[in-house]
Amino acid sequence: MTISRVAIIGLGLIGGSIGLAVREMLPGVATTGWDADAAVRRRAAERGLAGTICETAGDAVREAELVILCVPVGAMNAAAEAIAADLVPGTIVSDVGSSKRRVGEALAKTLPGAVVIPAHPVAGTENSGPDAGFPELFRHRWCIVTPDHTAPPAAVEALTQFWEGLGATVEIMDPAHHDLVLAVTSHIPHLIAYTIVGTASDLEDVTRGEVIKYSAGGFRDFTRIAASNPTMWRDVFLSNRDAVLEVLGRFTEDLSLLQRAIRDGDGETLFDLFERTRAIRRSIIEEGQDDARPDFGRTDH
Ligand SMILES: NC(=O)c1ccc[n+]([C@@H]2O[C@H](COP(=O)([O-])OP(=O)(O)OC[C@H]3O[C@@H](n4cnc5c(N)ncnc54)[C@H](O)[C@@H]3O)[C@@H](O)[C@H]2O)c1
Ligand SMILES: O=C(O)C(=O)C[C@]1(C(=O)O)C=C[C@@H](O)C=C1
């Protein structure tokens, strides 16, 4: 089974990047696109984010073999409802949401006639909207696919081939495990960035001008992450609540231990931790994995 017609619902950073990547890397695949926002649809047409930009969700999905929902996780159900009446039974419906368990459950419930196979390309930027997408976004990145036991293997394979065609490497994972792993590697780091940038701007004795003027590497990196799409991230934290709270509990315990060590003048505890984390970073570099890209360091392509 090879996919030749794909509908993209939601034409922002991820949906737009899929459309552009298909045009560049899978020229035999036709794309249709729809976004709930008319201004986004107009801009998507100007940029050619899909071969045909449709005026209704139904027009976009009616002839598709694969529909990919590229909307914030809190809008997945609304997007599913918008396509439900026009979806041909047996169509593969996937998504790109940053959390997987709740999204998968919602899609399966709203679209009982579809073959629902949730997915998450672990690739993005702090930018959003129809001008943010670019075709190379998924190249040498992971795409985690989280099918349940009802998903036909041929459909999972077709979706895998589609993502591989866009340059990604696919990993199959249980949705709850995905949510725990991504809470550690993506969601909590974003929460920390939002917090530190907010704290810095709220300090009474350090002016906002000073924060901007003296922001060195570390803080600057946090401000990039903290500039990420507020709607998307609000939805991620609400949707992946359980895993985020679990990891956050561990993180705050560890932070309290450091707070105590600083108050007590306990340099040994601080030094031991910093030495351990530096060793972790160094062993990652030695293993040649100094990047989230699955085949980083390979020279044969
Ligand atoms: N930004 C990232 O770094 C990143 C990375 C991987 C996955 N994701 C996931 O991808 C999804 C999309 O994120 P994005 O960064 O492309 O966001 P975006 O804001 O750039 O685009 C989302 C688009 O969805 C549209 N939309 C909202 N509700 C809709 C609805 N009910 N029906 C149709 N269109 C609707 C919006 O108008 C917008 O154009 C999210 O679920 C996010 O968690 C994001
Ligand atoms: O590189 C960035 O700016 C990102 O935030 C991308 C990032 C990540 O945390 O790695 C953000 C959310 C996604 O679901 C996947 C990727």
Tens of pLDDT, residues 24-59: 999 999 999 999 999 999 999 999 999 999 999 999
223 CA to centre of ligand 2 in angstroms: 14
Residue 205 is which amino acid? D
pLDDT higher than 70, residue 116: yes
Residue 63: pLDDT above 50? yes
d(CA 232, CA 236): 6
CB 36 within 8 A of CB 82: yes
Residue closest by Cα to atom 3 of ligand 2: 125
Question: What is the Å distance from ligand 2's center to 206 Cα?
Answer: 30
Q: What is the pLDDT of residue 301?
A: 41
Q: Is residue 186 in contact with ligand 2, taking CB distance under 6 Å? A: yes
* Domains detected in the chain: 5-173 (3.40.50.720), 177-265 (1.10.3660.10)
Which ligand is closest in space to the CA of residue 233? 1
Model confidence at 188: pLDDT above 50: yes
- In the predicted structure, residue 117 carries a pLDDT above the cut 80: yes
Look up the pTM and report it: 0.95
Quick check: CB of 79 below 6 Å from ligand 1? yes
- pLDDT of 215 > 90? The answer is no
Site to substitute for ligand 2 among 18, 98, 137, 185, most atoms within 8 A of C-beta: 98
Asked if residues 96 and 69 have their Cβ atoms less than 8 Å apart, the reply is yes
Q: Which atom of ligand 2 is nearest to the CA of 126?
A: 3
CA atoms of 111 and 109, how far apart (whole Å): 6
Instruction: Give dist(CA 210, CA 243) in Å, integer.
Output: 36
Angle formed by the axes of helices 175-182 and 101-110, to 10°?
A: 140
Contacts of 240 (CB under 8 A, 6+ apart): 98, 99, 101, 102, 179, 182, 183, 187
CA of 18 to the centre of ligand 1 (A): 12
Which residue has the CA at smallest separation from atom 30 of ligand 1? 79
Please provide the average confidence, as pLDDT, over all residues in the chain.
94
3-class DSSP state for residue 184? helix
Q: Does the CB atom of residue 143 touch ligand 1 within 6 A? A: no
* Ligand 1 atom nearest to CA at 235: 43
Q: What is the pLDDT of residues 242-274, one digit of tens each?
A: 999 999 999 999 999 999 999 999 999 999 999
Q: State if residue 31 touches ligand 2 by the CB under 6 angstroms criterion.
A: no
* Phi–psi pair at 145, nearest 5 degrees: -110, 135
Which atom of ligand 1 sits closest to the CA of residue 132?
A: 20
CA end-to-end distance (rounded Å), the chain: 27
- Contacts (Cβ under 8 Å, ≥6 apart) of 209: none
CA of 137 to the centre of ligand 1 (A): 15
